[in-house]
């Protein structure tokens, strides 16, 4: 699956009103950006609802930045364009 930075930012914006998704660096850990574990879960739920990417429970901790979610999506669909 191809997931873009803009799509992940849209999921963040849709899940968390108090953060400006545009100010979060691509490599910035969500915890460092001011998200707690509930925020993190809400972002991943939003990604799943918007784009159909299901993150396995054991992989939630690894999807802790915009770049990590994009990489996870790419690994979930190895035929997706980089």
For residue 82, tell me if it sits in a domain.
no
For residue 55, tell me if it sits in a domain.
yes
Domain span including residue 48: 5-76
Give the number of domains in the chain: 1
Counting other chains too, the contacts that 66-73 makes at CB distance below 8 Å and 24 or more residues apart are 66/5, 66/8, 66/9, 66/12, 66/24, 66/25, 66/26, 66/27, 66/28, 67/26, 67/27, 69/3, 69/8, 69/44, 70/3, 70/4, 70/5, 70/8, 73/1, 73/2, 73/3
- Residue-wise pLDDT for 3-46, tens only, equals 999 999 999 999 999 999 999 999 999 999 999 999 999 999 99
CB 43 within 8 A of CB 11: yes
Give the pTM. Answer: 0.90
For residue 27, tell me if it sits in a domain.
yes
Residue 59 sits in a domain whose CATH number is 1.10.1200.10
For residue 81, tell me if it sits in a domain.
no
For residue 57, tell me if it sits in a domain.
yes
């Amino acid at each position: 699956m191809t997931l873009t930075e803009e799509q992940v930012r849209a999921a963040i914006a849709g899940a968390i009103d108090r953060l400006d998704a545009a100010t979060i660096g691509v490599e910035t850990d969500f915890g460092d950006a001011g998200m707690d574990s509930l925020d993190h879960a809400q972002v991943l739920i939003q990604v799943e609802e918007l784009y159909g990417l299901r993150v396995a429970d054991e992989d939630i901790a690894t999807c802790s930045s915009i770049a990590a979610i994009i990489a996870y999506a790419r690994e979930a669909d190895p035929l997706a364009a980089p």
